[in-house]
Copies of this chain bind each other. A is one copy, B any other.
Amino acid sequence: MATSILALSGSLRAASYNTALLRTAAELVPDGATVTLYDYRDVPLYDADLDKPGSVEAFEAALRGADGLLIATPEYNYSVPGVLKNALDWASRPAYKGAIFGLPTGIVSASGSFVGGARAQQHLKPILLAMGVPVFPWPELLVGGAGGKIADGHVTDEPTRGFLRSYLEGFVPWVVKQGR
């Protein structure tokens, strides 16, 4: 059975570089694995007083059905977008029993600036470990200057496509090895 990787983009805008990175990952992923984008934009702002909405139940089901998770995140104010963190906050409840607990996860990032999302990755790593999530240690992928490497919702720059392919060739076997 194929290894199923769920993919979350940290940006909701249609022309997002990070969504494009995941779309391209779905094309380049090695045989025997799939990458499936999940759109969580209907997950509401977290409020512990709320009953769990259906949108969150659907998100949880997608996480529970996956073998691994791939997150592509932009950098908003040197950290993870609130939008992405909010979805992860829902997925982590209840603590150490939520849908994301134990799900092997990789992080990639793209940004128009030369820093390439490095600081967002820096914050996201301990956040994921706090949820009891194994974090893929190496190699890593940061795409700086994304404006010249991504067009029409796909990575067009050949070296960047090669880095992404190498990343996935390391990431998928690691997901399989971690199990869940």
Contact = CB atoms under 8 A, between A and B. Distances in A.
Contacts of A144: 114-115
A8 B114 CA distance: 26
A interface, over-half SS: loop
A83 B45 contact: yes
B125 A125 contact: yes
A72 to B, nearest CB: 16
A115 B134 CA distance: 23
Give the number of copies in the complex.
4
Interface in A98-129: 102, 114-116, 118-119, 121-123, 125-127, 129
Contact of A122 (B76, B78, B83): B78
B48 A11 contact: yes
Contacts of A118: 78, 115, 118-119
Interface in A73-98: 76-89, 92, 96
Nearest to A12: B47
A41 B46 contact: no
A77 B88 contact: yes
A119 B122 contact: yes
Interface residues of A, number: 51
Interface stretch (A135-143, A146-154, A159-167): A135-143
Contact of A46 (B47, B83, B88, B177): B83
Contacts of A158: none
Nearest to A125: B126
A71 interface: no
A176 interface: no
Interface of A: 11-14, 41, 45-49, 76-89, 92, 96, 102, 114-116, 118-119, 121-123, 125-127, 129-135, 137-139, 142, 144, 177
